[in-house]
Amino acid sequence: MTEQDLRLLLGFYKSLDFHELIVSNQGQNEGMPSMGEDEFIFHNTESIEGISYIKNSIGDCKLCKLHSTRKNIVFGEGSDRAEIMFIGEGPGADEDIQGRPFVGKAGQLLTNLIIKLGLTREAVYIANIVKCRPPENRDPEPDEISACIGFLKEQIRFINPKVIVALGKVATHSLLNIAEPLAKYSIMRERGRLKEYVDKDLKIPLMPTYHPSYLLRNRQAKWDVWEDMQIVMRKIKNE
């Protein structure tokens, strides 16, 4: 097999949605051109490993300082075929204890919203920008977001929802790569209009809206979120 043949073969597998490259130095066939000491083998993460592979790759993550104060890593949960993906900023105290996203009072509001939309938590996917609780529920810091967001991007890529709902300014700011400093950024001027999440070749409509914890303090804003979600539902139906 020539090097050109090998590249054509790898291109063919990539066209079949084989994303994961596993490196191995075993079993190199005689006559196969070398690509260094190791042979590169594609695995289709969708059909073989799926979302569990991403979760297992996190392991006992210590990529940022949040690992030192967490009780549990909160990976995310829901359908790996979800049409809507809700993404918040990070786990709170209840989420840290249970290892599940949005299970406290703010989570109850989110669950009620999902039900009112005619859906269930099991039918959507729920995750956060960071997977470990920031102390005292402070906003995640830039280095913490940078260390963790790669895992989230892989979740988004695998699930490939029709729409992402970014809950709050931290999630919106991070997913849209806003250049403006977070401290000066306001979700109020962004919500209600579909944006676009872009990660390399992947483009997904994104709706910025208020975080459920904000709704606990500002009940009237629930109507704004409801309006935002009607836009999301219409977008999904028109796809």
pLDDT tens track for 188-232: 989 999 999 999 999 999 999 999 999 999 999 999 999 999 999
Range of the domain at 231: 58-238
**In the predicted model, what is the mean pLDDT of residues 48-74?**
91
**In the prediction, which pLDDT does 24 show?**
38
Answer yes or no: do 13 and 104 share one domain: no
Answer yes or no: do 11 and 108 share one domain: no
Could you tell me if residue 49 is inside a domain? no
In the predicted model, what is the mean pLDDT of the chain?
86
Could you tell me if residue 122 is inside a domain? yes
**In the prediction, which pLDDT does 239 show?**
73
Q: Which residue type occupies 169?
A: K
Could you tell me if residue 97 is inside a domain? yes
**In the prediction, which pLDDT does 15 show?**
47
Beta bridge partners of 86: 126, 165
With a pLDDT cut of 70, the percent of the chain lying above it is 79
With a pLDDT cut of 90, the percent of the chain lying above it is 76
**In the prediction, which pLDDT does 47 show?**
36
- Decide if pLDDT at 16 tops 80: no
Could you tell me if residue 200 is inside a domain? yes
Answer yes or no: do 36 and 72 share one domain: no
Could you tell me if residue 66 is inside a domain? yes
d(CA 140, CA 127) in angstroms, rounded, equals: 14
Answer yes or no: do 95 and 36 share one domain: no
Closest of 147, 140, 142, 192 to residue 166, by C-alpha = 192
Answer yes or no: do 73 and 131 share one domain: yes
Say what the pTM is: 0.80
Lowest mean pLDDT among 17-21, 123-127, 146-150: 17-21
DSSP label of 34: P
Answer yes or no: do 67 and 99 share one domain: yes
Answer yes or no: do 30 and 74 share one domain: no
- Decide if pLDDT at 6 tops 60: no
d(CA 128, CA 115) in angstroms, rounded, equals: 20
Could you tell me if residue 75 is inside a domain? yes
Q: What confidence category does residue 49 fall into, taking pLDDT thresholds of 50, 70 and 90?
A: low
Could you tell me if residue 50 is inside a domain? no
Measured over the CA atoms of residue 98, residue 68, residue 73 and residue 109, the dihedral's sign is positive
